[in-house]
Amino acid sequence: MKQQLEAILSNAKNELSETQNARELDAVRVKYLGKKGELTAILKGMKNVAPEERPVIGQLVNDVRAELEAALEKQGEKLEQSALEEKLKSEALDVTMPAEQITLGHKHPLSVVLDEIKDIFIGLGFQIAEGPEVEYDHYNFEALNIPKEHPARDTQDTFYISDNVVLRTQTSPVQVRVMENQKPPIRIIAPGRVFRSDAVDATHSPLFHQIEGLVVDKNITMSDLKGILELFAKRLYGENTVVRFRPHHFPFTEPSAEMDIQCYQCHGEGCRLCKGEGWIEILGCGMVHPKVLETCNIDPEVYSGYAFGIGLERTVMGRFKIDDIRLFYENDVRFLHQF
Amino acid sequence: MKLPLSWLKDYTDIEGISNKEYDARLTMSGSKVECVEYLGEEINNVVTGEILSVEKHPDSDHLVICQLNVGKEEPVQIVTGAPNVTESSIGEICPVCLHKSTLPNGVKITKGKLRGVVSNGMMCSFQELGLDHGCVPYACDNGILFLPKGTPVGVDIKTVLGLDEYVAEFEITSNRPDCLSVIGLARETAATFNRPFNVKTPVVKGCGENINDYVSVRVDEPELCPRYTARIVKNIKIEPSPAWLRERLFAAGVRPINNIVDITNYVMLEYGQPMHAFDYACLSDGKIVVRRPQAGEAIQTLDGQDRAITDEMLAICDGSKPVAIAGVMGGANSEITENTKTVVFESACFHGTTVRLTAKALGMRTEASGRFEKGLDASLTMPALERACELVEMLGAGEVIDGVVDVCSADLTPKTLPFEPEKINALLGTDLSAETQKEYLERLEFKVEGDKVIIPSFRIDIERMCDLAEEVARIYGYDNIPVRLYAGDTTQGGLSPRQLLERMATDVCLSAGFDESMSHSFISPKFYDNINMPEDDKRRISTTILNPLGEDFSVMRTTVLPSMLDSLAHNNAHRNATASLYELGTIYTPVLKEDNTVDADKLPHEEKILTIGTYGKFNFFQLKGLIEAICTKLNIKDISFTADKENPSYHTGRCAKVYSGQTLLGTFGTIHPVVAKKYGFNTEVLAAELAMDKLAECANSVKLYQPLPKFPASTRDIAVIVDDAIPAADMQKAIEQAAGNILESVKLFDVYKGKGIAEGKKSVAYSMSLRAADRTLKDEECDNAMQKAIKALEEKFGATLRS
């Protein structure tokens, strides 16, 4: 009996080791452990065994059964593992094949930089003001200390709607509208479209964007103007940016200045980008002219302020080395997708 | 303004200051130097040479072989074909370009052979040296430049012709006409470098007689001519000016002409005061009258143009006729000619705005008008006039009659302002002592006396404390003003709720793969035709630009659609297979008068329209999906869509209006094929126009959490057959109303027409999701809800269950 059992076990193990898949494995299970299986048959034959031998033989049969089951399980795991490996192998991809594109929209490059500029100033406590693009002469000129026959009106090449209404030539009228409606402290930037009668070419557009800035409060000095604009330049152009403030003239600020940054290509040596000057003009600024404050019913003896204006197109063209302003308004997706 | 630096040295000292430093310091003190140019930059290795011999070329009729003494041991042999070089030219001195020399415009000269004879360089003309005839009046027009006798031989040509000169080009701001002069810039230079500054008072000897016996001056318009001064010079000898004067004018960018004209230009450059010279013989009655032109008067100006002048302008007239347009240009009828014997020098102050408007009206902006229009100092006329007469005597150009005519209504008392050093410090953020500020101001010729500042007459721009602060600041140096980061009350930065909504709406477009576009605000009125806008559409009434760049930019758009289609068309024309764009663009709706025309004195209503356009990728329902996504993002409730068959820009069967409740948010759909074709498309183009104001109005900022369901949902599907014309949205609404509150959602999942379905019918299938918050629904409840929905469809739309 014992030999018979050992033979069964050894045969079963041999057959198991030959199995290649779950089906063959199951066939072995049925052959030995199924209802009509060889081991089952022995168990069924126990009633023929002498009663005193039964415990010994029973134990033996159970041991063989346990061992066989363990072997089955082990072989099952082994087969499962190799099946999995087979599956992974068959599913392998050439990961160097091109991706399937997920299309995201692209912001216009002017917006990319404008949003950066907005975020810088928002972080410094500024709000975003807006004003009309078709504007009263009063706001665009008169209230900014540019009376009717001022020569500056010629140089700004204004588009007229009527004697009293123009397409704003600058975002500065928003200053006046804000000061009329809000009392200090005022901290705003006003980005927007402006219009000048320039024929279209690679560097001129009758429509472009400016970002106006205005701060009015008690004790505002030129030091504050320099501080905020220097910080702005470093945030926009990098920590190592060197700036300079140069006297200039605007009718609505006094003292007035232009801010240059040291050329980021030649670091001040002079190159083609900066036209040999070593510096690139970034913005105009100054202390708000007391006449402008008075026009807005703000007492210049109590309050002072500064204002600045940045040309967006030029800033963006410098940043991305774009050489033709017309690209901004053609909306060619091959252009837009680069930003 | 071009400033020859050697001229500067007449008034101040720039010894030991490099060009680079000069450029940088002047720029930082407010006189921006565009560049410092060396006049002879391009001329190298060109020397003076004396012609020793001229021989015929053996192989040429028109070439000659010259030997030239260029100051070296051996003469230099040069072959030339210049017509003015003959045997009689021996002894002439001329510019010689030696081997490896350069001339303006990148010309390089090397030795070579001309018809087999060695030529070691070239003799050259004044044109080849980049000079104007006025610089070398003795030169012939066509041929080698023969220099005056006595010119040294073997020296650099640049030193002989005044080209060894540095010229600084300044960009002068419009508030500083005083700096459009050598003296003004010398003053700025001296103040910047803290060097001495000296202007000598001109001295005129005179020759007796009395000016009043010659001329009388009457100013009828003292407002427009606050001061008119004049002197007379007789026995004029018109001839070229001496070399030093010609060279200075040329270096400053002015063509030398003759001594009298050159003197007026020289004084204008030196003092900043435009001057004019009349031929006295041409003034009838010895009268000068400054008056407005009378109706019908005209004048031929010095440039030979006939000019109609109006009573808005100011003319200088004699006893009968205009002889000059004040401050702009003289008349041909009193021009200085070779025969002029007696000259009237005019040095006057004219009203800037009148001069500017006159010059503009006549389309002739001149050097003089450009200065007058900025406003000139009435105190300046006299020294300038005296300087001109001094130069006349110095040049021996004529004899100056004693006496000056001076008709002056201008107030010449100096302006004063309070001296307020603390206020200046408070504006600048500096801590400069009163002494220091005083010193800075005095360097610029302000006088500080006690608590008063006396403003020099030439500083017409100084009106208030802030102007003085700028003077102090620029001499102190803007860069020396300390930097402070934040002062004043804190303010809260950030986007307004409306600005946030705009950002949210456009962010949805971006994440859906649409690119942001920007287009012009002004369009051509033809654009309205392009989008099939009806003739009587009110949107055709647009705000019109009086002086547009052209028809294409002539009206302010009342719709962004044509601009969007234009951008798509650009992409299509450039073979971009697909383009999907959005623009948050402004439209301008004019205020109308009663007769339905634009009230141009009122500002149009400006409104932002979120305009979307796409071709080659998305279909109608995907665009609709984008619009729904925008509404979801902005939390806009109760969205509905209705077919719009009336919009002529869109496909009659593929256009919808989108509403939130009763509020119209916008329109979208497929562009009408006829419109699409006008933009070059044969395929489907889609667009949407959403009013940002309306989106913002319907947006909900409040979002509340809904508890997640605790009980499972059941689904029931319904498929019915209905008339093809029944809108899906209506059926959906009917289901929603009928199924009761256990209906969680209902989704259209199939529409089928064709085989097995009768003509004019369609099969529509919905999937209902049913759920209760407090229990698991029983089958009967779900079946019941489904039956109610089916019943509603049967009753409302005559639907039959699809078997």
Interface predicted TM-score (ipTM): 0.87
C-beta neighbour count of B54 within 10 angstroms:
17
Nearest CA-CA partner of B586 in B552, B567, B614, B611: B611
For B647-684, write each residue's pLDDT tens digit. Answer: 999 999 999 999 999 999 999 999 999 999 999 999 99
Subunit contact A165:B353, Cβ cutoff 8 A: no
* Distance (Å) from the alpha carbon of B673 to chain A's nearest alpha carbon: 22
For B295-315, write each residue's pLDDT tens digit. Answer: 889 999 999 999 999 999 999
Higher pLDDT, A265 or A84: A84
* Distance (Å) from the alpha carbon of A41 to chain B's nearest alpha carbon: 50
Query: Is residue B566 predicted with pLDDT exceeding 70?
Result: yes
For an interface test with B, which of A114, A116, A161, A232 has the most B Cβ atoms less than 10 Å from its Cβ?
A161
Among A residues 187-246, those touching chain B with beta carbons less than 8 Å apart: 187, 193, 195, 197, 199-200, 206-207, 215, 217-224, 226-228, 230-231, 244-246
Superfamily of domain B714-801 in CATH is Ferrodoxin-fold anticodon-binding domain (3.30.70.380)
**Neighbouring residues of A78: CB distance < 8 A, sequence distance ≥ 6:** none
Query: What is the rounded average pLDDT for all residues in chain B?
Result: 94
pLDDT for position B272: 95
Nearest to A227 among B483, B496, B582 (CB): B483
* Distance (Å) from the alpha carbon of A109 to chain B's nearest alpha carbon: 9
What tokens were used for B387?
Answer: 């300087």
pLDDT for position A5: 82
Q: Which residues of A touch B601 (CB under 8 A)?
A: 162-165
Subunit contact B495:A128, Cβ cutoff 8 A: yes
Cα–Cα distance measured from residue A15 to residue A27, given in angstroms and rounded to the nearest whole number: 10
Q: Does any CB of chain B come closer than 8 Å to the CB of residue A302?
A: no
Q: Does any CB of chain B come closer than 8 Å to the CB of residue A289?
A: yes
Question: Which range among A262-271, B169-178, B187-196, B346-355 shows the weakest confidence by mean pLDDT?
Answer: A262-271
Nearest to B174 among A127, A152, A247 (CB): A152
**What is the arithmetic mean of pLDDT over B454-466?**
95
**What is the arithmetic mean of pLDDT over B353-361?**
91
C-beta neighbour count of A247 within 10 angstroms:
23
Q: Which residues of A touch B575 (CB under 8 A)?
A: none
pLDDT for position B289: 95
Identify whether the C-beta of residue B378 lies closer than 8 Å to the C-beta of residue B227. yes
Which residue is it, tokens 């999995």?
A: A84
Nearest CA-CA partner of B261 in B321, B343, B179, B318: B343
Pairing of β A186-195 and β A127-128: parallel
**What is the arithmetic mean of pLDDT over B225-250?**
95
Q: Does any CB of chain B come closer than 8 Å to the CB of residue A61?
A: no
pLDDT > 70: percent of chain B? 100
Q: Judge: domain B211-408, CATH 3.50.40.10.
A: yes
Question: Which range among A88-102, B386-400, B687-701 shows the weakest confidence by mean pLDDT?
Answer: A88-102
Q: Which residues of A touch B430 (CB under 8 A)?
A: 222-223
Cα–Cα distance measured from residue A213 to residue B585, given in angstroms and rounded to the nearest whole number: 23
**What is the arithmetic mean of pLDDT over B328-354?**
93
pLDDT for position A157: 86
For A241-261, write each residue's pLDDT tens digit. Answer: 999 999 999 999 999 999 999
pLDDT for position A1: 72
B506: left (phi over 0), alpha (psi -120 to 50) or beta: alpha
Q: Which residues of B touch A159 (CB under 8 A)?
A: 545-548
Pairing of β B287-291 and β B216-219: parallel
One-character DSSP codes across B186-226:
HHHHHHHHT--B--PPP-----SS-GGGT-EEEES-TTT-S
For an interface test with A, which of B371, B491, B615 has the most A Cβ atoms less than 10 Å from its Cβ?
B491
Query: Is residue B707 predicted with pLDDT exceeding 70?
Result: yes
C-beta neighbour count of A63 within 10 angstroms:
12
In chain B, where the domains are located: 2-39+165-193, 44-160, 211-408, 417-480, 497-698, 714-801
Query: Is residue A34 predicted with pLDDT exceeding 90?
Result: no
* Distance (Å) from the alpha carbon of A332 to chain B's nearest alpha carbon: 6
Fill in the DSSP letter of residue B681. Answer: -
pLDDT for position B523: 96
Subunit contact B466:A336, Cβ cutoff 8 A: no
Subunit contact B466:A255, Cβ cutoff 8 A: yes
Subunit contact B481:A217, Cβ cutoff 8 A: no
- A63 pLDDT band, cuts 50/70/90, is confident
pLDDT for position A156: 63
* Distance (Å) from the alpha carbon of B787 to chain A's nearest alpha carbon: 43
For an interface test with B, which of A254, A298, A334 has the most B Cβ atoms less than 10 Å from its Cβ?
A254
Cα–Cα distance measured from residue B270 to residue B732, given in angstroms and rounded to the nearest whole number: 88
Nearest CA-CA partner of B318 in B339, B295, B344: B344
Q: Which chain B residue shows the shortest CA-CA distance from A228?
A: B485
Query: What is the rounded average pLDDT for all residues in chain A?
Result: 91
Nearest CA-CA partner of A284 in A225, A338, A333, A326: A225
* Distance (Å) from the alpha carbon of A97 to chain B's nearest alpha carbon: 23
* Distance (Å) from the alpha carbon of B660 to chain A's nearest alpha carbon: 26
Query: Is residue B55 predicted with pLDDT exceeding 80?
Result: yes
Identify whether the C-beta of residue B85 lies closer than 8 Å to the C-beta of residue B123. yes
For B122-156, write each residue's pLDDT tens digit. Answer: 999 999 999 999 999 999 888 999 999 999 999 99
For B737-754, write each residue's pLDDT tens digit. Answer: 999 899 999 999 999 998
Subunit contact A161:B574, Cβ cutoff 8 A: no
Subunit contact A124:B356, Cβ cutoff 8 A: no
pLDDT for position A155: 62
Query: Is residue A43 predicted with pLDDT exceeding 80?
Result: no
For B197-208, write each residue's pLDDT tens digit. Answer: 999 999 999 999
What tokens were used for B77?
Answer: 């042999």
For B463-513, write each residue's pLDDT tens digit. Answer: 999 999 999 999 999 999 999 987 677 788 999 999 999 999 999 999 999
Q: Judge: domain A109-336, CATH 3.30.930.10.
A: yes
Query: Is residue B687 predicted with pLDDT exceeding 80?
Result: yes
Higher pLDDT, B622 or A271: B622
Query: Is residue B217 predicted with pLDDT exceeding 90?
Result: yes
Subunit contact A105:B521, Cβ cutoff 8 A: no
Q: Which chain A residue shows the shortest CA-CA distance from B586?
A: A133
For B160-185, write each residue's pLDDT tens digit. Answer: 999 999 999 999 998 999 999 999 99
pLDDT for position A49: 79
pLDDT for position A13: 87
**Neighbouring residues of B750: CB distance < 8 A, sequence distance ≥ 6:** B719, B763, B764, B765
pLDDT for position B722: 94
For an interface test with A, which of B478, B521, B555, B630 has the most A Cβ atoms less than 10 Å from its Cβ?
B478
Query: Is residue B766 predicted with pLDDT exceeding 90?
Result: yes
Q: Does any CB of chain B come closer than 8 Å to the CB of residue A154?
A: yes
Nearest to A165 among B27, B28, B601 (CB): B601
Question: Which range among A134-143, B81-90, B237-246, B578-587 shows the weakest confidence by mean pLDDT?
Answer: B81-90
Subunit contact A136:B603, Cβ cutoff 8 A: yes
Q: Which residues of A touch B567 (CB under 8 A)?
A: 330-331
Subunit contact A245:B567, Cβ cutoff 8 A: no
Subunit contact A125:B492, Cβ cutoff 8 A: yes
Query: Is residue A154 predicted with pLDDT exceeding 80?
Result: no
Q: What is the CATH number of domain B2-39+165-193?
A: 3.30.56.10
Nearest to B481 among A121, A163, A223 (CB): A223
Nearest CA-CA partner of B486 in A230, A50, A247, A62: A230
3-state secondary structure of B374: coil
Q: Does any CB of chain B come closer than 8 Å to the CB of residue A136?
A: yes
pLDDT for position A2: 77
Q: Does any CB of chain B come closer than 8 Å to the CB of residue A330?
A: yes
**What is the arithmetic mean of pLDDT over A295-308?**
96
pLDDT for position B224: 95
Subunit contact B464:A290, Cβ cutoff 8 A: yes
Q: Is the peptide bond before A191 cis (omega within 30 degrees of 0)?
A: no
Nearest to A329 among B426, B427, B518 (CB): B518
Query: Is residue B260 predicted with pLDDT exceeding 90?
Result: yes
Query: Is residue B779 predicted with pLDDT exceeding 90?
Result: yes
Q: Element (H or E) spanning B729, and its range?
A: helix B728-738
Q: What is the CATH number of domain B417-480?
A: 3.30.56.10
Subunit contact A197:B549, Cβ cutoff 8 A: yes
Identify whether the C-beta of residue A231 lies closer than 8 Å to the C-beta of residue A224. no
For B413-443, write each residue's pLDDT tens digit. Answer: 999 999 999 999 999 999 999 999 999 999 9
* Distance (Å) from the alpha carbon of B421 to chain A's nearest alpha carbon: 14
**What is the arithmetic mean of pLDDT over B582-603?**
95
Superfamily of domain B497-698 in CATH is Bira Bifunctional Protein; Domain 2 (3.30.930.10)
Cα–Cα distance measured from residue B557 to residue B553, given in angstroms and rounded to the nearest whole number: 10
Nearest to A159 among B470, B494, B545 (CB): B545
3-state secondary structure of B121: strand
Which residue is it, tokens 């269950």?
A: B801
pLDDT for position A147: 87
* Distance (Å) from the alpha carbon of B422 to chain A's nearest alpha carbon: 12
Subunit contact A290:B490, Cβ cutoff 8 A: no
Subunit contact A167:B545, Cβ cutoff 8 A: yes
What is the number of CB-based contacts under 8 A between chain A and chain B? 251
pLDDT for position A62: 85
Subunit contact B173:A249, Cβ cutoff 8 A: yes
For B603-632, write each residue's pLDDT tens digit. Answer: 999 999 999 999 999 999 999 999 999 999
Q: Which CATH number fits domain B44-160: 3.30.360.10, 3.40.50.1370, 3.40.50.300, 2.40.50.140?
A: 2.40.50.140
Cα–Cα distance measured from residue B653 to residue B618, given in angstroms and rounded to the nearest whole number: 17
Same topology between domain B2-39+165-193 and domain B211-408:
no
C-beta neighbour count of A269 within 10 angstroms:
11
